[in-house]
Chains A and B, each alone.
Chain A
Amino acid sequence: MEQVLLSLLVWMPILGGFATLIVGNERALSAKWVALSLSVIVFILSLGLYTGFDNTTHLMQFVEKSSWISQFNINYHLGVDGISMPLIILTTFSTILVIIAGWEVIQNKPAHYMAAFLMMEGLIIGVFSALDAMLFYVFWEASLIPMLLIIGIWGGDNRIYASIKFFLYTFLGSVFMLVSLIYMYNIGGSFGIIDMHALSLTMTEQSWIFWAFFLAFAVKVPMFPVHTWLPDAHVQAPTGGSVILAAIMLKMGGYGFFRFSLPITPDASLNFSDIVIIISLIAIVYIGFVALVQRDMKKLIAYSSISHMGFVTLGLFALFLAVKNSYEGALLGLEGAMVQMISHGFISAAMFLVVGVLYDRLHSREISTYGGVINSMPRFTGFAVLFAMANAGLPATSGFVGEFMVILGAMQANFWISMLAATTLILGAAYTLWMVKRVFWGPIHNDAVKSLNDINSREFLILGVLALAVIAMGVYPQPVIEVMNSSIEHLLSQALTSKLAI
Chain B
Amino acid sequence: MSNTAQNLFQFDTSTLVFALPEIFLLSSIVVILLIDVFLKKSFKNITYYLSQIAIFITALLSYSLIGNGEQIIFSGSFIHDDLAAIFKVAMMVASIVVLVYSRTYLNIHNLFKGEYFVLVLLAILGMMVMVSGYSLLTLYLGLEILSLSLYTLIAIARSRANAVEAGLKYFVLGAIASGLLLYGMSMIYGINGSLNISEIAQFASGASLQSSQQLILNFGLVFIVIGVAFKLGAVPFHNWVPDVYQGSPTSVTMFLSSVPKIAAVAMLIRLLIEGLGSLQDYWSDLFIALAILSIGVGSLVALMQSNIKRMLAYSTISHIGFILLGFATGTMTGYGSAVFYVFTYVLMSIAAFGVVILLNNKGFESELISDFKGLSKRSPWFALMMLIIMLSMAGIPPFIGFYSKFFILQQVVNSGFIELAIIAVIFAVISAYYYLQIIKSMYFDESDNTSPISSSMDTQLVLSINAVLILAVGLFPNYWMNIALSVF
Contacts and interface: CB of A to CB of B under 8 A. Distances in A.
A144 interface: yes
A67 B421 CA distance: 26
B402 A138 contact: yes
Contacts of A179: 409, 413, 418, 421-422, 425
B478 A145 contact: no
A159 B397 contact: no
Interface in A45-100: 67-72
B414 interface: yes
Interface string A136-180: 011001101100110011000001100110011001100110110
Given A160-B444, A168-B433, A71 B482 contact: yes
Contacts of B482: 71
A182 B403 CA distance: 13
B481 interface: yes
Interface string B394-428: 00111000110011011001100010011001101
A183 interface: yes
A173 to B, nearest CB: 9
A185 interface: yes
B413 A186 contact: yes
A175 B424 CA distance: 10
Contacts of B444: 152-153, 159-160, 163
Interface in B263-309: none
Contacts of A175: 425-426, 428-429
Nearest to B478: A69
Nearest to A123: B398
B396 A141 contact: yes
Kindly name the residue among B402, B407, B425, B485 whose own CB sees the greatest number of chain A CB atoms within 10 A. B425
Q: Is the interface of B mostly helix, strand, loop or mixed?
A: helix
Nearest to A141: B397
A168 B425 CA distance: 12
Contacts of B397: 137-138, 141-142
A186 B477 CA distance: 20
Contact of A186 (B414, B428, B436, B445): B414
A171 B429 contact: yes
A148 B439 CA distance: 10
A160 B440 contact: yes
B478 A68 contact: yes
Interface string A274-308: 00000000000000000000000000000000000
A233 to B, nearest CB: 14
B429 A178 contact: no
A324 B184 CA distance: 69
B333 interface: yes
A185 B477 CA distance: 18
A444 B429 CA distance: 49
B398 A152 contact: no
Contacts of A185: 410
Given A167-B432, A168-B433, A144 B426 contact: no
Contacts of B409: 178-179, 182
Contacts of A67: 478
Contacts of A176: 422, 425
Contacts of A142: 396-398
Nearest to A167: B436
Interface in B227-252: none
A59 to B, nearest CB: 28
B443 interface: yes
Nearest to B474: A138
B440 A72 contact: no
A173 B302 CA distance: 22
B393 interface: no
Contacts of B425: 175-176, 178-179
Nearest to B381: A21
Given A145-B396, A172-B429, A71 B481 contact: yes
A160 B396 CA distance: 19
Interface in B143-167: none
21 contacts: A70-B478, A71-B482, A71-B485, A72-B410, A137-B397, A144-B396, A149-B443, A152-B439, A160-B445, A163-B440, A164-B440, A171-B429, A175-B428, A178-B406, A178-B409, A179-B418, A179-B422, A182-B406, A182-B409, A183-B413, A185-B410
Interface of B: 333, 391, 396-398, 402-403, 406-407, 409-410, 413-414, 418, 421-422, 425-426, 428-429, 432-433, 436, 439-440, 443-445, 477-478, 481-482, 485
* Closest CB pairs A-B (n = 4): A175-B425, A138-B397, A152-B444, A69-B478
